[in-house]
Chain A
Amino acid sequence: MSSHAGAGAIDHHHDPSTTTGIPNKKLFMWAFLASDCMFFGVLISTHLIYRLHPPAGTPDVKEVFSLELTSFSTFILLMSSLLMALAVNAIQKGNVKTTRTTLLGTIFFGLIFLGCQVYEFNHFVHAYDVTLSNSVFGSTFYVLTGTHGCHVAIGVLWLVLMYIRTFKPVHADSGQPWLIKSTAHLLVFTVSIVLTMYVLLGYVHVAEVDGLNFGTLGSFIGSQFLVIGATLVTYGILRWFARPPAQVEFGEQNAMDVEGMGLYWHFVDIVWIVIFTVVYLLEFI
């Protein structure tokens, strides 16, 4: 970092260059989250207003919702928040390695949550015929939870970019090789995510239709051999990208970047708790 920070440890709770001591990025994130609260507030209000005045043709919501699935995905999202907090903690101690693993864990749990949401949407459309356009309930529900899903997806993207950044070598600065390498890393990561989701959701579908046993697993692997193979290859490439690098630039001085991302992630998590309560749980009271 800078010559002026001297040899002393970095104080993560006070930034001497600002009037209040709060880092600019943190203050920005807090203000943004206040604004984002209003976005969700409006969407949730819209949903609740139509739940209070349900027009004719509203589906039986209790039948449609599966509390087990949603409780599971809520738990997963909560756990991802825990991992996120561990990542912030690790980077504040300068522990880049732990930061990487916890970031990966957060990404993984975030993806499980998204997978559950894709499954849920798909299930609602096919099993209960609740679509975006055939009822007000469908419109408000999908747009609200979809907007939340977009927030999670953006969070995952951010996490992936942060994860990739932890491999940036010292003094690479923004040179061409690093730019190309990080772009490739991002592309592979994206492809890997899409393939994994495809395979897992595909198998969940098969298992639902034909039952969960070795036979269906075998035939699924047989029929999706190429895709599964490609997925494994992307894992290999990702492992190669993640080989222990020389000295990296990423370190304790980036704690604020991780913390800002953490604030966002926790916020998205809290919003989900609210959605889970007022959109799902309230229906069963």
Chain B
Amino acid sequence: MEATVKTDFIGKEEHPTADKRTWIFTRPTAKTGIVSWLTTVDHKRIGMLYGISALFFFLVGGFEALLIRIQLAVPNNTFLSAQLYNEMFTMHATTMIFLAVMPLSAAFFNYMMPLQIGARDVAFPRLNGFAFWVFLAGAIILNVGWFVKSGAPDIGWFGYAPLTSTAYSNQFAGDMSTDLWIIGLQILGVSSIVGSLNFIVTIINMRAPGMTMMRLPVFTWMTLFTAFLIILSFPAITIALVELMMDRNFSTNFFEVSGGGLPVLWQHLFWVFGHPEVYILILPAMGIISEILPTFSRKPLFGYPIVVFSGATIGFLGFGVWSHHMFTTGMGTIATAAFALATMAIAVPTGVKIFNWIGTLWGGHLMMRTPMLFALGFVWMFMFGGFSGIMHAAAPADAQQQDSYFVVAHFHYVLIGGSIFALLAGIHYWFPLIFGRKVSEFWGKLSFWVIFVGFNVTFFPMHFLGLNGMPRRTFTYDGNMGWNSANMVATVGALVLGVGMFIYFAVMVYTYFRGEKSGRDPWDGRTLEWSIPHPPPEHNFDVTPNVHARDAFWYEKHHQAEIAREKAEQAKQDEAHGGIHMPSQSWFPIITAAGMLTGALFFTNHIMIGAIAGLAIVFVSAWLWSLEGPGGYHLHPGQDHPDDHSKSGAKH
């Protein structure tokens, strides 16, 4: 059978040449302790690193949000200064989008996607580690502003030119906050693109035998679409940021008004990225929901092909609707009409998903566990966000809603009610798999209801605030505008939401240490990740799985005799190939990322020698990285010890 020889260790036998290796290329072998984390190439550990950093920044962003709500609780408040308030909402948005939701999705991509396709790692394990460390470098650069005199970035998360030009952001000597924002986002872009290229290759090329594309779990499909969206949309913002950086540092005229630059061009470039970005945030969430609903309904996803193709359609159309963020820029009637219609068109594949989720519930045995509650909460809240989205698509109505609190309500319904609810559902759902422990149902459900109520109390009134004429990004408002009670309600809601989040995370931490042991496959799962021990071993699968159906693990559970036979045969095959090939750890990903961090920090301080030194570190470590080779060692599950690690790291 041809498929069974498609394993990833053919032709990668090592030579016994470790004694010749120089100290520079000695591969770290620690499996525990700090070094093991800094040099890890294991997709599960990298996923955890992403997850932990993302949750940290999620709390930071949430804290910023609470400060914003406190400032707006009453009219004419002086809790925050205007400057600090502007920094707060800029960083709240930037943090939540780039440092919380995207990396949390990336955490699930990393951890779950290889397990779902029956792979032992991603296609380029070291590059995967690199993507994470670069992400962390970008996150640090974005937040450095809080600790220096110039302050954090204060130009809004879409940084409309010409407010970002030196003339308007350098009022105080040495204000580098905008430079930090530019460089930080560029570096995050590198991380996202590199990570996504890796996912694309992994999903296309590293599937287990029998795992055809139309058998991929929906979450993996959404990973693939998200990765494509990232590699095709991030170039737009990266180039726009390069142009802006040139304007600020080398006096070019891309967006410089006096030199004939067109600030509206920035908006086009930004939203050509920015709208696909919206789907980058929501498609992974839809993928998670499409895993949870079938599992807890105990039946397959309704209309799998339509869910997958609607995801593709959303991704494709997502590149053609960017100007609906710009209905008030005076685009003229034809362009406005075209983008309004395109935006309405994109509502169809989105609505289709909701129909299919309801179809999945229909006729099932719904087990109302915490992940299911979050998933149902997602469906409800995302529906609300979708409806206000349709209202925005009606361009003339949007002229009243654009840049008002109505928009704020809309995108929080989509991003909290949508993305965050799904990610919180995902954490609950996969917690037993990752840690082998199960969150208490009582506390889980309590946190869900507090979050759900708090969220709605916060954001529902904002629809009214917007339609009642309150613009967004305002640090103060007067008491005679009819906005007082709604703002107060929203602030109270935000505090409730904060309490809900606290319960959620406190319970998670408690469960990690003291939670009830879950045992294997606690939810009666349907996809491959549930077929392995909880927590999963480093090599994921003792035996390369053979996939026979869409819900691969469900099939295995219902065809046990056949699968057992097949596994025994496959195990022999694997052993005949020399065991399971595992990639070696490496120092170079983190060193390369450190070089980027150093160079970028010097560059924002206009110390060019330092910037060049940082670039040199990047170059040298990338070169050594390529010289050290992929390396690797073999594991023999069923036997006690893996191959001696000192022999590891040979180039094939």
Contact = CB atoms under 8 A, between A and B. Distances in A.
Q: Do any CB atoms of chain A lie under 8 A from CB atoms of chain B in the complex?
A: yes
Interface of A: 1-5, 16-20, 22, 24, 27-28, 31-32, 34-36, 38-39, 41-43, 46, 49-50, 53-58, 132-133, 135-136, 138-140, 143, 147, 161, 171-176, 179, 182
Contacts of B9: 17
Given A24-B124, A55-B259, 15 more contacts: A5-B11, A17-B6, A20-B205, A22-B205, A24-B201, A27-B201, A28-B124, A28-B201, A34-B232, A49-B262, A132-B246, A139-B252, A143-B242, A174-B628, A179-B627
11 contacts: A1-B652, A4-B577, A16-B5, A17-B10, A19-B204, A35-B234, A38-B231, A46-B239, A55-B259, A132-B246, A174-B20
A46 B243 contact: yes
Contacts of B24: 174, 179
Q: Chain B interface: which size bin? A: 35 or more
Contacts of B235: 35-36, 38-39, 41-42
A42 B7 CA distance: 40
Contacts of B231: 31-32, 34-35, 38
Given A132-B252, A133-B250, A39 B11 contact: no
B243 A172 contact: no
Interface in B196-232: 197-198, 200-201, 204-207, 211, 231-232
A174 B259 contact: no
B236 interface: yes
A49 B204 contact: no
B596 interface: no
A34 B229 CA distance: 11
A19 B232 contact: no
Interface string B232-268: 1111101110110010001111100001111001000
A2 B8 CA distance: 13
A27 B205 contact: yes
B260 A27 contact: no
A17 B7 contact: yes
Contacts of B201: 24, 27-28, 31
B236 A42 contact: yes
A173 B20 CA distance: 7
A133 B13 CA distance: 56
Given A2-B12, A46-B265, A53-B262, A175 B22 contact: yes
A171 B15 contact: yes
Given A3-B13, A5-B11, A17-B8, A28 B252 contact: no
Nearest to B9: A17
A32 B200 CA distance: 10
B523 to A, nearest CB: 28
Interface in B105-147: 123-124
A42 B269 contact: yes
Task: Name the residue among A5, A39, A42, A53 with the largest chain B CB count within 10 angstroms.
Answer: A42
B329 interface: no
Given A28-B197, A174-B22, A179-B24, A49 B628 contact: no
B580 interface: no
Nearest to B230: A35
Interface string B1-30: 000011111111101010011101100000
Contact of B232 (A22, A35, A172): A35
B262 A133 contact: no
Contacts of B289: none
A58 B259 CA distance: 10
B544 to A, nearest CB: 12
Contacts of B629: 174
B651 interface: yes
B240 to A, nearest CB: 7
A2 to B, nearest CB: 4
Contact of A139 (B211, B246, B623): B246
A105 to B, nearest CB: 23
Contacts of B650: 173
B206 A1 contact: no
Contact of B239 (A34, A39, A133, A138): A39
A244 to B, nearest CB: 23
Contact of A143 (B10, B193, B233, B252): B252
A54 B10 CA distance: 58
Task: Name the residue among A50, A132, A138, A139 with the largest chain B CB count within 10 angstroms.
Answer: A139
Contact of B10 (A4, A34, A133, A176): A4
A175 B205 contact: no
The 9 closest A-B pairs by CB, nearest first: A55-B260, A38-B235, A139-B252, A2-B11, A35-B231, A133-B251, A18-B205, A42-B239, A176-B22
A17 B250 contact: no
A16 B10 contact: yes
B204 A27 contact: yes
Contact of B253 (A22, A34, A35, A135): A135
Contacts of A179: 22, 24, 627
A239 B11 CA distance: 35
B6 A19 contact: yes
Contacts of A173: 15, 17, 20-21, 650-651
B11 A4 contact: yes
A244 B17 CA distance: 24
A46 B241 CA distance: 13
Nearest to B198: A28
B259 A135 contact: yes
Contacts of B252: 132-133, 138-139, 143
A195 to B, nearest CB: 21
Contacts of A38: 231-233, 235-236
B571 to A, nearest CB: 18
Contacts of B232: 34-35, 38
Nearest to A133: B251
Interface in B297-331: none
A132 B251 CA distance: 8
